[in-house]
Structure 1
Amino acid sequence: MIRGLVIALGRRVKGDVFTIDPALPLTAIVAFSAARAAAALRGLLVRPFLRGGSGIPAFVGARVRLKTRGMIRLGKGATLGDGVLIQGLSRGGVTIGAGTSIGAHSIIMPTSVMRNLGEGCTIGPNSGIGQYSFIGCGGGVTIGRDVIMGQYVSFHTENHLHEDLDRPIIAQGVRRAPVVVEDDCWVGVKATFLSGAHVGRGCIVAAGAVVRGTIPPYSIIGGVPARIIGTRAPGDAVPAELLADGAGGAVSAA
């Protein structure tokens, strides 16, 4: 009875995809449900202060910090894990799509200094960002729907200017370029996205890859810097100009 009730409630938030492993013991179901109820209560408490703050149920973990809440939007059923930090202050704010999960102790940071307002971040529905990830979105980050990412993934949308040898690098400012990860991508643990990277739909990014430039849809990439090592598209060969020594070609730089 309890199992059926939890499934019914879960499907009201997550849709028909929500289910429970039959091997899960009743005690674990009760403990998990209690934790989710506490997160839902915290979501209700912060909801009035968020952008579009009425009628948006979300789950907020313990010790979550939401700064400039009026510029943060949480979609239906979005989940923020324990210890997440989101700074909403930016030109476009921060939007977390319906059903999307941000892993524990992750950081979304569009602006760290008042003198240079950042662009912000948008993450589409039903995506998941692994624990301890960092999204530095001063130059803007857009992540599509149905994207899954491992732990410790990081985004860096700014490069320090360094041409003037008579001034410290720290005093020369930054150059920004947005990072885009399109729908239905799978990103491995500790992948790093550099300023200007654009990953096409349906790509797979190997663990530890350093991604820059433009990646064609359905590519499989890996390495430092990331190179195309295969494709998911049936019958499609990797373009010859992107191959090098049979091991995959360096992706075009931004």
Structure 2
Amino acid sequence: MLKKLVAGLCFVLPSRPTRFLYRLCGHRIGRNVRIPALTFVHAENMTIGNDVTIRRFVYIHVRKLSLGANTIVSYGSQIKGEAGFSCQDNCFLGIHCLIHCLDNVSLGFYSGLGPRCTVYTHGSFLPVTMGYPAKFAPVVMEDHVWIAMEVTVMPGAHIERNCIINPGVVVQGRIRTNSILHIDPKQYGVHDLGRLQKLSKKDTSYWHHQIISAFLSSQSASYQHDAGAASYSVPGRYTFISRPEMNVIELHIGKGRILYDLDLLCADESRRLIHKKFLAFIRLRHGLTLRTRYG
């Protein structure tokens, strides 16, 4: 919390006091680092090398941040997520780049992203319970990789050293060393989404278990799972109960009960913090956006 408060204070301060305050927090900040006012940079563990320049209107909020020497992060870029971002020396991020770090993102030596590039480590929005795909995986860009403007890098992409990705390309999978990628209109294809959904769809009880257990793990909660009662209890705090026959998940807190209807995509109204966290988690991780059912 202290480090985040310092980051908020540094938002209105010039580079010199910002460097001083970050060092007081235990961050490793090199010489001649430029972090001007109107820039927000926060990480629990931060290492910034010599001569790094972070422009105005940049927003960085990750768990672990490592910027190699002589790196430039240009105006309006965002790097955010629950995992880490790292780059080696001489890297470059063009204006208005968007990097989502729900898993780790790394750039090698002398690599860069052109303007308006997007890097995703997660791919989910539509409900996985209906067979829609969801993927979460780190992204790796090795040494001497240049990604030109408006390229989208998908979860799990790994670009080996000495590659150029031309504008507009969507990068997936592993790109071998010494490759140049560009858009070829002849290679566009159409796939059967309905068939994919049928192949991907799993039993309701499977998804309930995945959703509840993953959420509790994300909260670092020690819980007891009773398979017979389909319950997941965090002693003294709350209990989730799976009702696969109705496709409903229940959250019991004390004498209260909150219902999450995954067929109707709605949930009971509640101001409980754990309820809000659960809604945010299943929306991000499982593509389940639930409307509030007001009583």
After TM superposition, the score normalised by the length of structure 1 is 0.61
Tell me how far 1:78 sits from its aligned partner. Answer: 0.9
Q: Which residue of 2 aligns with 1:101?
A: 72
Cα 1:165–1:40, aligned 2, differ >3 Å: closer, same or farther?
A: closer
| TM-score, normalization by structure 2 | 0.53
Checking the alignment, whether the CA contact within 8 Å between 1:79 and 1:102 is kept in structure 2 is: yes
Gaps of 5+ in 1: 1-37, 111-117, 228-243, 249-254
Corresponding residue number in structure 1 for 2:57: 83
1:140 matched residue in structure 2: 104
In the alignment, is the contact (CA less than 8 A) between 1:94 and 1:122 conserved in 2?
A: yes
Distance 1:135 1:46 in 2: 26
Match of 1:240 in 2: none
| Structure 2: 5+ residue stretches without partners | 1-12, 189-295
Q: Distance in 2 between matches of 1:139 and 1:184?
A: 22
Matched, 1:196 2:156: yes
Residues 1:178 and 2:138 are matched in the alignment: yes
Query: Residue 67 and residue 40 in structure 1: after superposition, are their counterparts in 2 closer, same or farther (change >3 A)?
Result: closer
CA pair 51-156 structure 1, distance change in 2 beyond 3 A:
farther
Counterpart residue number, 2:118:
154
- Structure 2 CA distance, aligned partners of 1:60 and 1:54? 11
Answer whether contact 1:57 1:75 (CA < 8 A) is retained. no
Q: Is the 8 A contact 1:158 1:195 kept in 2?
A: yes
**Partner residue in 1 for 2:87:** 123
Percent identical across equivalent pairs?
A: 24
Deviation at 1:40, TM superposition (A): 4.3
Q: Is the 8 A contact 2:19 2:29 kept in 1?
A: no
| Residue 156 (structure 1) shift | 0.5
Letter in 1 for 2:154: L
Residue 59 of structure 1 aligns to a residue whose secondary structure is: coil
Larger Rg: 2
Distance 1:103 1:42, change over 3 A: farther
CA drift at 1:187: 1.1
Match of 1:58 in 2: 33
Q: For residues 152 and 80 of structure 2, what CA distance do their matches in structure 1 show?
A: 15
Query: Moved runs in structure 1, 4+ residues, more than 6 A?
Result: none
Deviation at 1:51, TM superposition (A): 4.9
Query: What is the alpha-carbon distance in structure 1 between the residues aligned to residue 49 and residue 155 of structure 2?
Result: 27
For the structure 1 residues 63 and 95, does the alpha-carbon distance in structure 2 shift closer, same or farther, using more than 3 Å as the test?
same
Residues 52 and 208 (structure 1), Cα distance of their counterparts in 2 relative to 1, 3 Å cut: same
In structure 2, relative to structure 1, the CA distance for the partners of 1:55 and 1:190 (3 Å cut) is: closer
Aligned mates of 1:51, 1:203 — CA distance in 2: 36
Q: Summarize deviations over 1:194-217 as a string: whole Å, max 9, x none.
A: 001011101000011110011001
Aligned length: 175
Residue in structure 2 matching 1:165, options 123, 130, 139: 130
CA–CA distance in structure 2, aligned partners of residues 148 and 50 of structure 1: 29
Deviations, residues 102-156 of structure 1 (Å, cap 9, x unaligned): 111111102xxxxxxx321111111111011011111110111101321111100
State the one-letter code of the partner of 1:148. Answer: G
Looking at structure 1, the residues matched to 88 and 95 of structure 2 have their Cα atoms a distance apart, in angstroms, of: 18
Give the CA RMSD over aligned residues: 2.8
User: Which range moved further: 52-61 or 191-200?
Assistant: 52-61
